[in-house]
Structure 1
Amino acid sequence: MGHGFRQLILGTVLSIAASQWLYGQVATPVTTMVSTNEAAVTNLVPPDIIVDALVIDHDFDTGWAEAKGRVVITKGDQELRAVYVRVNTKTKDAYAAGDVVLIHAGNVWRGDELTGNFGTGEWETGEWSTEPVQSSTISQEPFRIIESERAKITTNGYYDAYNTIVTTCTNEFQDCHYHVHSKKIMLKPGRELKLRGAKYYLGGMPVFYLPRWAKDLRPDWGWTIYPGHSSRLGAYLRTAYKYRLSPVFRAETHVDLMTERGVGLGQDIKWTLESGFPLFGLSKGAGYGDLETFYINDQRPVDDDEDLATSDIEEQRYRILLRNRYTLTSRDYTMLNMSYMSDTDVLEDFFDNEFRVYHTPDNYFIYGHNAEQYSISAGARVRLNDFFEGVNRLPEVAIDFMPQQIGESMYFYQGRSSIANLERVYPASNTNETDYSAYRFDTWHEVSRPKKFFGFLNVIPRIEYRGTYYSDTFATDSVTNIVTSTTTNPVTTVTTITNVQEVIRGESAEFRNVFGIGSEFSFKAFKQWGEGQDARRHVVEPYVNYTFVPEPSLLPENIYSFDDIDQIGKSHTARIGARNKLQRKEFRTTGYSPYDIIDVDLYTYYNLDTKDGEDPLTDIYMDLEWAPVGDFMIDARLRYNLVNSEINTFNVRSGYTKYGKVRTSAEWRYRVNRSSLLYGDISLFPYVQGWSPSVFARYEMEDSRLEEAGVYLRRTFDCMVVRMGARVLPGYTRGDGTEKEDEINATFELWLTAFPEYGFRDDMSEYGGTDY
């Protein structure tokens, strides 16, 4: 910058001198004035340096040059503005005064005076102004330096400032919710911010002091601290430091301190492959994935309410998780998910948010290809831990044919074929079951012919075939053993006991043939009320779906069962129902289109092949979606048993959201004689600044037991969020008679809105499901 400025002054003088010489008006010493009524704009070599001012004066003897009036010096992304600039072309010293603005790499310095040297690139300032953010001393989003006694730019690219006030709040200083007063700050734009002797204030009250503090300004860098307390872990402090290893790989190092459990350690590696990235040199695509590890020498591997003698959980506990999604082309993709853990309870104890979603990990690798009329998948599924139950598929290949027209005919075809090596595996602790396996090839095909009769009745007859090959089957034999015993005490007694045992006998390979025919009948009728945007339309669609499948050549009781394919048997039914919709018009980007206010499907299955005493009609089903207004919805599923006149299952959930006012949801899950679970939550004034209380609860009516409840209070400011809360899981009596103790969790969180992923913050999915 110093060399460029010297070129600026020298070029200006030479150009003015040359013009004066041409007109015979050169004077010594040279003092050149440009009329204040016409600005002087000077382009120097190199051409990216430009000086713009109303007046430019230069003294060749002393080397001092002066630029006055709206001075602007630009070079690349650097810009210096002031009312007055004085620079020495020999020593390269410079002084600027009056509304000084120095812009460099997107950062803005403002003040009344600036002293520095273009050669060394170091600058020092006087006392800085305390203007709002748009005219703050330095701007490095999202930080604001409100006030500074003096500052300088160093040769290593740092901006140093002394006795500064720093914040990310956007309010006037007197209204800032927090600020930091630092004896010295060192800022390297886009890289890092360092504070020395930093006092932290909430409002005007000092809360703590740090002799040194640093924040990496690059993406994916920073600390996360999760404080809290729970009955299971004790007081805990979960910490993570995030950093980037390369443009592709990021990392997180975890250290979790738990008073009841010890120290947990973890190392995560995450990656993001941008479009065009070659994976193993095979192709160029895009994807993402992660490798997560966790280890702890658990001080209390078995809870106080569990039996240590019967537990198989040891002190050395761990979890390894590997996931990857990669899109090779627009049609090809791969998916990988692998989870290996030390015991069955490690998720529940240390990863409660994951445990709420699934108990048994799903380990698989899948390659998929999507074409216009078919899709192919090849992969494997395997159980890695022997304390879980599952079905190994090593490997499995499948091809699916989407419904498609056959040539130019009126017939349509769809189908699926798969081949797999299957193995049913039971937990090692289950000594009552024996693992079994078989190779299976399955192919299913359906041909249909849609037709319309009388201009309204849709008829879709179909014919289908399924063929399945099993490498192993079995038969069950009944073996009767008669045991006779004679006792004399003193009377002779003869006792005969008959034992009947089921013995499974392995059979050879078999091929199962399943044929089926059917037809679907339906039509639509509607009536409309009103006109234009206020119009309402009722649509009704009665339908009957008839299916006949004769008895297969191989029955389910002679097949090793792995999934629903192996349970196919004789069927002769008709699904009878009617679908009703109430619609209104809704404007979208392409114009007005129908919007479903209510969509309800009511149906039943009529058994056409009943045995003596059987009722052909047993259950009625209902599927309901209701959205009376855009902010409110209800979703329900019902199964009602006509024989017993009772509800077998009923799931209903609802939700209402009014931005800035309220957000609430409720759910009821009912299973006859098993469970009647209620869940509800409500948050007041979410998404906006101010106070926002939230509560949630889960209650099991079948056992009259409160399963979980929690309350949280959140205060959102313009630049920070404070949240505190607690949840409780009351104890209960387990099925084996043991007692489960109460579990209480409490947390306090604080984070800056500019850095929501960092700070004293916990993942709220660990505390009640919904992120309030």
Structure 2
Amino acid sequence: MRLPCVMVCLGLCAGAVAYGAEEPVPWLIESQDSVVYDLNTGIAMATNGIIVRHGDTVLSAQRAIINQVTGEISAEGNVRLEHAGLLYAAERVRYNLHQRRLVAEEIKTGIGPMYVGGEVLVGDLSNRVYVVGNGLLTTDDYAQPGYSIRAKTLTIMPGEYIEAQQATVCLGHTPVFYVPKFRRNLQRDPNHWTFTPGYRSRYGAFLFSGYHWAWNDQLRSGLELDAYTKRGLGVAPDLSWQVPGFGSGQVKYYYIHDLEPGQAPDGSAIAPDRQRVYFWHLGTLRTNLTVRSVVAWQSDAQIIRDFFESEYHRNAQPNSFVELEQAWPNYSLHLLVQPRVNDFWQAVQRLPELRLRGYRQQVGSSPFYYDSDSSLGYYEQKFPDDPSNLLGVGPLTNLPYAALRFDSYHQITLPHTFFNWLHVAPRIGGRFTHYGEAIGPGGVTSAENRGVFNAGIEVSFKASRLWPGVQSRWAQIDGLRHIIEPSVNYTWVPEPNVRPHRLPQFDSELPTTVLLPIQFPDYNAVDAIDRRQVLRLGLRNKLQTKRAGTLDHLLDWSVFTDWRLTRASGQSTFAPIYSVLDLKPLAWLTLSSGLRVNTDTARLDETEHHLTLTPNDKWSFGVGHHHLDDYPGVPNQTGYRILRANVYYRLDQNWAVRGDWLRQSSLGTYHHYLLSLYRDFRSWTGAVSFRLRDNPTGPNDYTVAVTFSLKAMPRYGLGEDVTRPTLLLGH
């Protein structure tokens, strides 16, 4: 049968079923010319350009014969095979889709950090083993590599090893030396040095150097020396492990005798001997039994800010804890021990806390669903000596206090869909909490038994309309679909028999600029529960299209607020109106916007906008603005305004430049400039970065740093220098 069509879908999938596949996988064949298909044998033939798609495999060639029954494809002429994220380019290919076996002639491909070519390649794509005859191997990503290994036979197991028989090492086309057999372990980070030289006005000239080595496949260690002309010498040994049946983790230590330690936020002098210990471990002891632990100790509150800036921006006050979790299909049991290891920060000690969570589950064959959350623990609220580190305060005192607490919450939900479009989910729940008498200098509450009742209902629906005829090549629009999702969530909590001011505050509300959850157990400020009656009103609009054959969002816009039928002290009837907008009119142009509108004053208390342009891989540009005028729950705050911009431009295949600019206005004006110049040195890359911080309350801070990274073993993850640009400056 000759089918003169552009695309043929071989939907019978008889071959796939005969091979025992659980789900039939369709064959899609696209051809510039006609496709000859034999219905009896399941063999298709095409010439003059063909594309074959089957599951996650895509093959293109000038000519091909496809056997649907055996899964065998024979292709010739500029063959391109894509599978599991790898691309194989060859002149002739025989590939079995069922067995994942490949035989290719005049082949080129990239496997892991290496580029491989040869006269013939035989590969098992399932087990990821490749054998290349008369092959070439290099990590230099140029058409004419500066160095390579040419061998009679190459055996490659990605991520494990390479082995070359009768190998010649070449610089360009010049042979350098010959070895009869060569084997190299490809496991990441064998033994290597790292260096980052630079200058910073706070440090003086500096050199960050480190040596990292592997004891075996499961144990690695390193030693870093940080030399500063102004601050002294820092030493940082580390040990990491990844042991089957035990888990993975790391322990790091840092010590420096700081020549200029400076002052703490409270004005006291920081001791010159500064240290930190950071430990983490994650392991699966048995099926569904997991242990997580973190210990973050430091000698003073400023050491991370002073010497580990990238970590400080991610988490300025890391917690220390040990957690054991046993998971079942409908329940999970958690044992948490969380001490305060740094006495200059506020923390709630949980020594320990045992929690049983029941996930939402159907009650038998009834239409009801049940969920629960129960905990038992001994808690102690610890306050810092430095008031600038306070996160919140107790109801009556800033002196430490402790108490036993047992809390148990249970809820029944009855979700139902009316008229096949209206989703209604009424709920009813109850909570019992026992508090022991508070002890300690700040213990002013007595033993209490509190009961809390709650009820509510959530109503929502989704409506959509399709316009398939809307087309635009310029905007890459292929049809439009509009989806609207209004929702109303009502919560009623009558006044509990014990109000929050009579309870020790361990889990209370902290100041925030976003709306907190209104229903249990998502609202987890257990000790702050009071009467409430609130309606959360929401409206979401989405506008979708198809771009490059996949779904893309032109617009995603959510608007929501709370109507407080019962108001707490200091609250208005309506919460601020929040607007969250993501707009993507073009595939390379995105705009995100966030607004918080004060309903009493009709003012914008907070705005945030970001515009990003990425038209190609040569340049990109982004600009953003964040304005905060009011921070709920924080007295005497001044707000701030932030303007930021970034630009990336690739000058040619070897050079690129990136610039970041930030301007913040609060009590004064603060400027931040960061400029990085990138250079591609074939098998490795380098960057020179310059940063200026224009500090209104102190001297300006200048930094210059040079970083290097091997392409075969990159120092940073892909794009990590964009999301965390301070990495290019050292720590």
Unpaired runs of 5+ residues, structure 2, are 1-130, 137-143, 157-163, 391-396, 471-476, 508-524, 630-637
| Paired letter, 1:530 | P
**Residue 471 (str. 1) matches residue 436 (str. 2):** yes
Where does residue 313 of structure 1 map in the other structure?
A: 270
Where does residue 249 of structure 2 map in the other structure?
A: 289
Q: How far does the alpha carbon of each residue in 1:320-363 deviate from its partner, in whole angstroms, 9 at most, with x for none? A: 11111113345222111111111111111111111111211210
**Residue 529 (str. 1) matches residue 467 (str. 2):** yes
Change (3 A) 1:109 1:585: closer
Change (3 A) 1:131 1:325: closer
Where does residue 460 of structure 1 map in the other structure?
A: 425
- 1:246 Cα deviation from its structure 2 partner: 2.4
Change (3 A) 1:619 1:266: closer
- 1:270 Cα deviation from its structure 2 partner: 0.9
Q: How far does the alpha carbon of each residue in 1:505-534 deviate from its partner, in whole angstroms, 9 at most, with x for none? A: 834311111111111122222221125982
Q: What does 1:534-683 correspond to in 2, within 5 Å?
A: 534-563=478-507, 564-585=525-546, 594-609=551-566, 616-672=573-629, 673-683=638-648
Q: What does 1:342-741 correspond to in 2, within 5 Å?
A: 342-429=299-386, 433-472=398-437, 506-531=444-469, 534-563=478-507, 564-585=525-546, 594-609=551-566, 616-672=573-629, 673-685=638-650, 689-703=653-667, 705-733=669-697, 740-741=698-699
Equivalenced residue count is: 543
Equivalent residue of 2:543, what SS? Answer: strand
- 1:311 Cα deviation from its structure 2 partner: 2.7
State how far apart, in whole Å, the 1-side matches of 2:725 and 2:234 are.
20
**Contact 1:764 1:770 (C-alpha < 8 Å) held by counterparts:** no
**Contact 2:258 2:274 (C-alpha < 8 Å) held by counterparts:** yes
- 1:536 Cα deviation from its structure 2 partner: 0.9
State how far apart, in whole Å, the 1-side matches of 2:253 and 2:414 are.
55
Change (3 A) 1:139 1:691: farther
Q: What is the RMSD computed on CA atoms of the aligned residues?
A: 4.0
Q: What is the TM-score normalised by the length of structure 1?
A: 0.63
Where does residue 59 of structure 1 map in the other structure?
A: none
Of the three residues 703, 706, 712, the one matched with 1:748 is 706
**Contact 1:689 1:717 (C-alpha < 8 Å) held by counterparts:** no
State how far apart, in whole Å, the 2-side matches of 1:337 and 1:433 are.
27
Change (3 A) 1:512 1:649: farther
| Paired letter, 1:552 | P
Of the three residues 267, 272, 278, the one matched with 2:245 is 278
Equivalent residue of 1:644, what SS? Answer: coil
State how far apart, in whole Å, the 1-side matches of 2:571 and 2:325 are.
45
Where does residue 127 of structure 1 map in the other structure?
A: none
Change (3 A) 1:716 1:375: same
**Contact 1:473 1:558 (C-alpha < 8 Å) held by counterparts:** no
State how far apart, in whole Å, the 2-side matches of 1:745 and 1:347 are.
17
Kindly, what percent of the aligned residue pairs are identical?
Answer: 26
Change (3 A) 1:264 1:131: closer
Equivalent residue of 2:533, what SS? Answer: strand
- 1:749 Cα deviation from its structure 2 partner: 3.1
- 1:237 Cα deviation from its structure 2 partner: 0.9
- 1:435 Cα deviation from its structure 2 partner: 0.8
State how far apart, in whole Å, the 1-side matches of 2:145 and 2:346 are.
66
Equivalent residue of 2:501, what SS? Answer: helix
Worse overlay, 337-346 or 520-529: 520-529
**Contact 2:445 2:504 (C-alpha < 8 Å) held by counterparts:** no
State how far apart, in whole Å, the 2-side matches of 1:660 and 1:585 are.
22
Equivalent residue of 1:535, what SS? Answer: strand
Where does residue 85 of structure 2 map in the other structure?
A: none
Equivalent residue of 2:557, what SS? Answer: strand
Change (3 A) 1:656 1:771: farther
Equivalent residue of 1:239, what SS? Answer: strand
State how far apart, in whole Å, the 2-side matches of 1:581 and 1:370 are.
36
State how far apart, in whole Å, the 2-side matches of 1:444 and 1:313 are.
46
State how far apart, in whole Å, the 1-side matches of 2:378 and 2:664 are.
41
Change (3 A) 1:651 1:440: farther
Equivalent residue of 1:328, what SS? Answer: strand
**Residue 300 (str. 1) matches residue 238 (str. 2):** no
Where does residue 125 of structure 1 map in the other structure?
A: none
Unpaired runs of 5+ residues, structure 1, are 1-104, 111-129, 143-156, 174-180, 193-215, 280-286, 475-502, 734-739
Equivalent residue of 1:530, what SS? Answer: strand
- 1:377 Cα deviation from its structure 2 partner: 1.6
- 1:308 Cα deviation from its structure 2 partner: 12
**Contact 1:262 1:298 (C-alpha < 8 Å) held by counterparts:** yes
State how far apart, in whole Å, the 2-side matches of 1:428 and 1:615 are.
35
State how far apart, in whole Å, the 1-side matches of 2:345 and 2:584 are.
41
**Contact 2:687 2:707 (C-alpha < 8 Å) held by counterparts:** yes
Runs of 4+ in 1 over 6 A off after TM superposition: 105-110, 137-142, 184-188, 611-614, 762-766, 769-772
Change (3 A) 1:664 1:383: farther
- 1:427 Cα deviation from its structure 2 partner: 1.5
| Paired letter, 1:278 | G
Q: Highest Rg: 1 or 2?
A: 1
Q: What does 1:258-269 correspond to in 2, within 5 Å?
A: 258-269=228-239
| Paired letter, 2:274 | R
- 1:319 Cα deviation from its structure 2 partner: 1.0
| Paired letter, 1:262 | G
Q: What is the TM-score normalised by the length of structure 2?
A: 0.66
- 1:290 Cα deviation from its structure 2 partner: 0.7
| Paired letter, 1:522 | S
**Contact 1:689 1:718 (C-alpha < 8 Å) held by counterparts:** no
Q: How far does the alpha carbon of each residue in 1:227-248 deviate from its partner, in whole angstroms, 9 at most, with x for none? A: 1111111111111111112221
Where does residue 207 of structure 1 map in the other structure?
A: none
State how far apart, in whole Å, the 1-side matches of 2:256 and 2:570 are.
61
Q: How far does the alpha carbon of each residue in 1:286-329 deviate from its partner, in whole angstroms, 9 at most, with x for none? A: x3211111111222222xxx599943411211111111111334
Change (3 A) 1:613 1:508: closer
Equivalent residue of 1:640, what SS? Answer: strand
State how far apart, in whole Å, the 1-side matches of 2:535 and 2:529 are.
17
**Contact 1:381 1:393 (C-alpha < 8 Å) held by counterparts:** yes
Equivalent residue of 1:348, what SS? Answer: helix
Where does residue 340 of structure 1 map in the other structure?
A: 297
Change (3 A) 1:330 1:708: farther
State how far apart, in whole Å, the 2-side matches of 1:260 and 1:725 are.
20
| Paired letter, 1:247 | D
Where does residue 634 of structure 2 map in the other structure?
A: none
Change (3 A) 1:377 1:729: same
Q: What does 1:20-59 correspond to in 2, within 5 Å?
A: none
Equivalent residue of 1:566, what SS? Answer: helix
- 1:650 Cα deviation from its structure 2 partner: 2.7
**Contact 1:191 1:218 (C-alpha < 8 Å) held by counterparts:** no
**Contact 2:401 2:438 (C-alpha < 8 Å) held by counterparts:** no
